[in-house]
Structure 1
């Protein structure tokens, strides 16, 4: 995807099947992180609190990703696995047909923010 200036442009440029999932992620993250600033960093829309990007999301050719700080993935590893999702050190990739549950997105975002020292 081309470099974009804001969340709206990023979502609009994403493949059509991914747009509803990205819109939902944005809304859930905004609700979980009410004091965060919406930004675009590393060509991904994200949420910054203070100097830390505490959550971001992305669309790829076949999947989406939710990215948080490593301690949030570690703290919720069992929940991630129980949801049938795969995680890396800083993120979870998933298909639009099997997104990350909203309540887990919220917990990951809040844990990410808490550990960021923000």
Structure 2
């Protein structure tokens, strides 16, 4: 398996149908986390602030995952459910044809950044 070293490589290696969603997600996370460093950890693209990964994303065979700190998911659990998305303690998964609404993605990333100091 090829080791992914940056966000561009990760997105380029993803199935073509996933690339637009991954690019959009990356752009939204960049905007929401302007002080974050783009990193790759556990073979997933992510955003690190003060040594902590506050947001990351991944493409799987049939879905995309957005991962943030657990309190951010808890803070937005109702919105996530209302959007018809599946959530775990630290992430939201969705099919590429039905991505997380942009404003919700941005709020999740910002909430994750805020909870960094918790």
The TM-score with structure 2 as length reference comes to: 0.97
Partners of 1:108 and 1:42 in 2: how far apart? 21
* Per-residue deviation, residues 34-82 of structure 1 (Å, max 9, x unmatched): 0000000011000000111000000011111000000000000000001
Aligned to 1:59: 59
What is the correspondence of 1:1-118 to structure 2 with a 5 Å cutoff?
Answer: 2-117=2-117
Moved over 2 A (4+): none
What is the DSSP-based 3-state SS (H/G/I as helix, E as strand, rest coil) of the residue aligned with 2:56?
A: strand
**Cα distance change on mapping 1:62 and 1:2 into 2, 3 Å:** farther
| Unaligned stretches of 5+ residues in structure 2 | none
Provide the aligned length of Structure 1 versus Structure 2.
Answer: 118
String of CA shifts for 1:72-115, please: whole Å, max 9, x gaps. 00000000001110100000110011000110000000000111
Measure how far apart 1:117 and its partner are.
1.6
Q: CA RMSD in A?
A: 1.2
Stretches of structure 1 lacking an aligned partner (at least 5 in a row) = none
**Partner-residue secondary structure (3-state), 1:116:** helix
